[in-house]
Amino acid sequence: MAEHMLRRELDARGLAPHVRVTSAGIAPYARDGALVSLDTRLALREDGIHLGEEATSTDLKRHPELLDQADLVIAMTDQQARDLTEKFPAARERPVYTLRSFTGGAGDIDDPWEKGDEVFAQCREEIKRLLPVLIDRLCSD
């Protein structure tokens, strides 16, 4: 969800050509090539983002080279950030933050998977609130 929302925000600011955004799952159930969940699609659609059938997930375990290409890694939870640096050597060579910590806050944005529409909407709104701060910080560094 954050990937698509960030792309839209970058595009709205004219920054999309200058920033490459990729997303990859690290959860045990992450599957390469799986369709983006219906809950995610619906939450994004409610915010004006329509994903086509080509929108699929990427499993970082199958594509660790994504970390080699990254200048910055943003996770949603502290546990994800720890898992990244413990399981992927390339992550130890990059700055790894949670979205909240990078934007000056603390705490996690928990995965809304299997928690229903309301939790997906809350997650979407929290990400939406933080993305402008993230982009402002990226542009100021």
Count how many domains the chain has.
Answer: 1
Residue pLDDT, tens place only, 93-131: 999 999 999 999 999 999 898 898 899 999 999 999 999
Residue 128, C-beta contacts closer than 8 angstroms, at least 6 positions apart: 5, 47
Q: Give the residue with greater pLDDT, 141 vs 26.
A: 26
The arithmetic mean of pLDDT across residues 40-64, rounded, is 94
Output phi, psi for 84, to 5 deg. Answer: -60, -50
Mean pLDDT score across all residues of the chain: 94
- Residue 124: predicted pLDDT: 97
Domain span at residue 84 reads 2-140
Q: Which two tokens stand for residue 15?
A: 């920054």
Q: What is the pTM of this model?
A: 0.93
The arithmetic mean of pLDDT across residues 10-35, rounded, is 93
- Count of helix runs (H) and strand runs (E) in the chain: 6, 2
Using alpha carbons, list the distances in angstroms from residue 41 to 27, 37, 50, 99. 19, 6, 7, 21
- Residue tagged 């994004």 (tokens): 44
- Residue 141: predicted pLDDT: 65
Neighbours of 93 (CB within 10 A): 12
DSSP 8-state secondary structure symbol assigned to residue 94: S
DSSP H stretches of helix in 1-141: 2-12, 38-45, 65-68, 78-87, 99-102, 117-140
* Torsion sign, CA atoms 38, 87, 130, 118: positive
Per DSSP, the three-state class of 117 is helix
Query: The domain spanning residue 129 has which CATH number?
Result: 3.40.50.2300
Q: What angle do the packed helices 117-140 and 2-12 form, to 10 degrees?
A: 50
